Structure 1
Amino acid sequence: MPLSMPPPRLSSPLAACLSLALLTSGCAYLQGGGGQVADPDSPACAPFRQWQDTGGGRVEVYASLRDEVGEAMQAAWDDFARCTGIHISYEGTGEFEAQIQVKIAGGNAPDVAFFPQPGLLARFVESGDALPLPPGAAQRAEEGWTEDWLDYVEHGGELYGTPLGANVKSIVWYSPRFFADNGYEIPETWDDMIALSDRMAGDGVTPWCAGIESGEATGWPVTDWLEAAVLRQYGPEVYDQWVAHEIPFDDPRITGSLDRVGEILRNPDYVGEVQSILTTSQQDAGLPLLDGGCGMYMIGSFYASNFPEGTDISPEGDVFTFDLPEMNPDVGRPVLGGGEFAAGFADRPEVVAFQEYLATVDYADRRARAGAWFSAHVDSDLDALLNANDRFAAELLRNPDTVFRWDGSDNMPAAVGSGTFWRGMTDWVNGDDTGDVAAYVENSWPV
């Protein structure tokens, strides 16, 4: 998922819990924000004692999370700021991928930035701008996350990012009530899913919601489809080779997987007018699930916050998700997902303290209680997750048998993953030949 995607709408539980978090945090009597502390010795500030000797200071944070989502994130570290006297200045943007490069090239790097794309972060590791995690943050990261997560930000034996939020992308949204009313069942295999799509079409239901418009990031939802298909059909080894460019983008296995995706996304019997996908925003595309306007929508777990206030997100409710069915019984159901990493560009004491705190389970649980978010931290409190779908996705990631792979486009070189890959998938939806599109992306790969 690109960091520049517009902010999702939030359901009422998030808004309510954000207010509740601020009122019941235990630091409500601390006067002011931005590091002004009334009583740092209070019991409410006990979780932050180890960082109270930094002498305050200011930390500039840059990311894409805006509006209510950005506010919820800041609320999760608000008590840390008040109890340590560290002022945390946050800026959210819808053009992170482009602007983070402008900032760093211009000598105006933020102290900390949140990257959903390890491939983009790697660019700044190679340039020497990004700094290795401070030892305290690195230790906490190693204790809190599995190698499946940390490998993406390890360079030269050092970690350059702390995992933050997590999401699962190899899932399908549907309406349990609509399925029950029409006698539809969750498919167990890809062929079952195609058969269900045919049945829905025969019933006069549009089987699939689809929309790929996302501003400068238009096209990214199709990358998730292709990544999930490659991972499920050929397994993690081939997937890793593809993402690392050890096999070309136009390898027959990749183009074959894209053609399988085309059985759905370029099929007017399944999606309606195919051209409409180009102009339908990914935020709005899944909303017809609520009134039977479509049957299924494949997009990440983060989509929960796009549904209107009062939507019942539960296994028997208005909407929920199921794991994308297996395509190859020898591969099973590896999980495709993503998230964000916090990377540092300064090493002042207050920046180090903030990076250490972001790597704690305390931060993960406080952010989870603010709603519409979960972490892959091994010790995170699942009971802190207010959304049943977040818990479903978090349990998938925590399952010791789960094979997890990061979103491929986010881990490819930025010029490809958030450039030619997005544009190529847009052209493909618009009718361009599969082989031509794959060759276009392949030829764009940095030498």
Structure 2
Amino acid sequence: MKRLTMTIVMAAAVFGLVYAGGGTEKASTGTGGQKTINFLAVWGGQEAEVFKAMVKPFEERTGIKVELEATRDLDAVITTRVEAGNPPDVAGLPGPGKLVELAKAGKLVDLSQVLDMAEFDKNYSAGWKALGTVDGKLYGIFTKAAIKGLVWYNPKTFKAGGITPPSNTWTWNGMMAYSKQAIDKGLAPWAIGVESGAASGWVGTDWLENIFLRVNGPDKYKEWYEGKLAWTSPEVRKAWEIWGQIIADPKMIYGGSNYVNSTNFGNAHEPLFTNPPKALFHHQASFIQSFITNQFPSLKPVEDFDFVAFPSIEPKYAKAVEGAADVIGVFKNTPEVRAFVNYLASAEAQAYWAAGTGALATNKNVSLVFYPDALTKRAADIMNKAEIVVFDASDMMKPEMNAAFWSAVVSYIENPKNLDSILAGLEKVRKDAYK
């Protein structure tokens, strides 16, 4: 905790040098006495501490108090309060699905009435803006992001084997060639674990989403998560079959299918860092860096662990990025809320997430100087330069479809020969869920 506090203090100091010129909250100061904003979110622990540090300069400049109400049962609390006519002023929503639900129900404020849109458009890519838009109006600000689909490796394993590490321009076929080299050298190409309690299987959905996006592009991707594309379609089947080149081949995966299904996602990278290493690659989002450093505190970024972007499959989708992020929605349009939300969207505020948690800022004008190491800087750079940004597809699906997708991944790993029946089962769920 002391280290985190120092990081936040340093971030505040660096901010003064990088973004000298004062605050961005243009809608407000001098509110005529203490005003309080109720902010509801899931953030606790480290995230809560960073959030409180983030809002402190805003509070000092405006006299507006921001009270964080944290709950792990976020969806239920928001639903109950909205139905009771007592919504929070601002909230970190459970996900894009909830954003769409609340926007369509007329419960959220159109952010064009809240934000300085000229400033917002300078700071956010079209992809993030599109994700926050419902029926042509902006309702959500995405923040605190992670890139999905990074491929992690141990550089020392490559050096010991006389192999040149991959680059961000590699292809799926090139990745499979690396995998064959690993087998030839007695290593398992891939360390994978999909166990996650009731959510077991979500790790595999990330694989399939990244493959689907790079084969079929963002328009088909959107049709898929909106329930408009059959699970038995050629597009969906192809994604599963491509993943099957890895997950259905016992030579490709460390420990075999039972190991994959029983190993928690938070420990799945460990075979890369045993002595000697037992696997070459691990596929996971940018957040896994904190798991690696917590479990192996002596390891140094770049020197001991590194990553490359997910390989391209169809060249025209090579610069596509799948991400996940928290999304903020606004329930009340007051001068205090307008000031606060403009601040939350600013580079100043988002720099705290970068420095304090290593999460990626969705505001593309947050300087890379705030990121704690070379790897998070690189992840942020990939995010900022992406030509296509999509959100995690399974998180955008209806809950029953999402849950069935997770379960289908576990079933496929267990018996990939059952792909036909697995896809037929998913298609039945789709037809029932999207009537």
Structure 2 length-normalised TM: 0.84
Tell me, in whole angstroms, the C-alpha distance in 2 between the residues paired with 1:330 and 1:379.
Answer: 26
Q: In structure 2, do the counterparts of structure 1 residues 67 and 147 end up closer, same or farther at CA, with 3 Å as the change threshold?
A: same
Q: Secondary structure at the match of 1:52?
A: coil
Tell me, in whole angstroms, the C-alpha distance in 1 between the residues paired with 2:197 and 2:79.
Answer: 18
For the 8 Å contact 1:141–1:163, the answer to whether it is kept is no
Q: CA RMSD in A?
A: 2.9
Deviation at 1:262, TM superposition (A): 2.4
Tell me, in whole angstroms, the C-alpha distance in 1 between the residues paired with 2:363 and 2:10.
Answer: 26
**Structure 2 unpaired stretches of 5+:** 14-19
- The residue aligned with 1:77 is 55
Q: In structure 2, do the counterparts of structure 1 residues 318 and 147 end up closer, same or farther at CA, with 3 Å as the change threshold?
A: same
Q: In structure 2, do the counterparts of structure 1 residues 422 and 105 end up closer, same or farther at CA, with 3 Å as the change threshold?
A: farther
- The residue aligned with 2:429 is 444
For the 8 Å contact 2:132–2:142, the answer to whether it is kept is no
Q: In structure 2, do the counterparts of structure 1 residues 263 and 186 end up closer, same or farther at CA, with 3 Å as the change threshold?
A: same
Pick which of 127-136 and 91-100 moved more: 91-100
For the 8 Å contact 1:200–1:295, the answer to whether it is kept is yes
For the 8 Å contact 1:371–1:387, the answer to whether it is kept is no
Say if 2:255 is the partner of 1:276. Answer: no
- The residue aligned with 2:40 is 62
Q: 2:157 aligns with which of 154, 172, 178?
A: 178
Deviation at 1:323, TM superposition (A): 1.3
Q: In structure 2, do the counterparts of structure 1 residues 101 and 423 end up closer, same or farther at CA, with 3 Å as the change threshold?
A: farther
- The residue aligned with 1:204 is 186
Tell me, in whole angstroms, the C-alpha distance in 2 between the residues paired with 1:303 and 1:366.
Answer: 19
Deviation at 1:229, TM superposition (A): 0.6
For the 8 Å contact 2:195–2:261, the answer to whether it is kept is yes
Tell me, in whole angstroms, the C-alpha distance in 1 between the residues paired with 2:242 and 2:115.
Answer: 43
Tell me, in whole angstroms, the C-alpha distance in 1 between the residues paired with 2:339 and 2:245.
Answer: 50
Q: 1:194 aligns with which of 168, 176, 199?
A: 176
Give, as a single letter, the amino acid of the residue that structure 2 aligns with 1:300: A
Q: In structure 2, do the counterparts of structure 1 residues 73 and 210 end up closer, same or farther at CA, with 3 Å as the change threshold?
A: farther
Q: In structure 2, do the counterparts of structure 1 residues 97 and 415 end up closer, same or farther at CA, with 3 Å as the change threshold?
A: farther
Give, as a single letter, the amino acid of the residue that structure 2 aligns with 1:294: A
**Structure 1 unpaired stretches of 5+:** 1-13, 27-43
Q: 2:68 aligns with which of 73, 90, 104?
A: 90
Deviation at 1:232, TM superposition (A): 1.4
- The residue aligned with 1:429 is 413
Deviation at 1:258, TM superposition (A): 0.9
Q: 1:286 aligns with which of 269, 275, 278?
A: 269
Give, as a single letter, the amino acid of the residue that structure 1 aligns with 2:196: S
Tell me, in whole angstroms, the C-alpha distance in 1 between the residues paired with 2:96 and 2:173.
Answer: 33
Give, as a single letter, the amino acid of the residue that structure 2 aligns with 1:364: Q
Give, as a single letter, the amino acid of the residue that structure 1 aligns with 2:99: L
Q: Cα deviation per residue 1:35-56 (whole Å; 9 max; x = unaligned)? A: xxxxxxxxx9952775433343
Q: In structure 2, do the counterparts of structure 1 residues 116 and 101 end up closer, same or farther at CA, with 3 Å as the change threshold?
A: closer
Give, as a single letter, the amino acid of the residue that structure 2 aligns with 1:248: A
1:23-42 aligned at under 5 Å gives the runs 25=12
Q: In structure 2, do the counterparts of structure 1 residues 253 and 60 end up closer, same or farther at CA, with 3 Å as the change threshold?
A: same
For the 8 Å contact 2:30–2:63, the answer to whether it is kept is no
For the 8 Å contact 1:209–1:295, the answer to whether it is kept is yes
Q: In structure 2, do the counterparts of structure 1 residues 99 and 194 end up closer, same or farther at CA, with 3 Å as the change threshold?
A: farther
Say if 2:365 is the partner of 1:379. Answer: yes
Tell me, in whole angstroms, the C-alpha distance in 2 between the residues paired with 1:208 and 1:297.
Answer: 6
- The residue aligned with 2:212 is 230
- The residue aligned with 2:101 is 123
Deviation at 1:415, TM superposition (A): 4.0
Q: Cα deviation per residue 1:290-349 (whole Å; 9 max; x = unaligned)? A: 33243211111122111235454533x111110122223454342222222211223344
- The residue aligned with 1:114 is 92
- The residue aligned with 2:243 is 261
Q: 2:30 aligns with which of 50, 53, 62?
A: 53
For the 8 Å contact 1:18–1:371, the answer to whether it is kept is no
Say if 2:140 is the partner of 1:161. Answer: yes
- The residue aligned with 2:321 is 335
Q: 2:280 aligns with which of 287, 295, 299?
A: 295
Q: In structure 2, do the counterparts of structure 1 residues 279 and 91 end up closer, same or farther at CA, with 3 Å as the change threshold?
A: farther
Q: Secondary structure at the match of 2:49?
A: helix
For the 8 Å contact 1:48–1:80, the answer to whether it is kept is no
For the 8 Å contact 2:152–2:305, the answer to whether it is kept is yes
Structure 1 length-normalised TM: 0.82
Tell me, in whole angstroms, the C-alpha distance in 1 between the residues paired with 2:108 and 2:114.
Answer: 17
Q: 1:142 aligns with which of 101, 117, 121?
A: 121
Q: In structure 2, do the counterparts of structure 1 residues 108 and 172 end up closer, same or farther at CA, with 3 Å as the change threshold?
A: farther
Q: In structure 2, do the counterparts of structure 1 residues 24 and 425 end up closer, same or farther at CA, with 3 Å as the change threshold?
A: closer
Aligned length: 414
For the 8 Å contact 2:25–2:343, the answer to whether it is kept is no
- The residue aligned with 2:16 is none
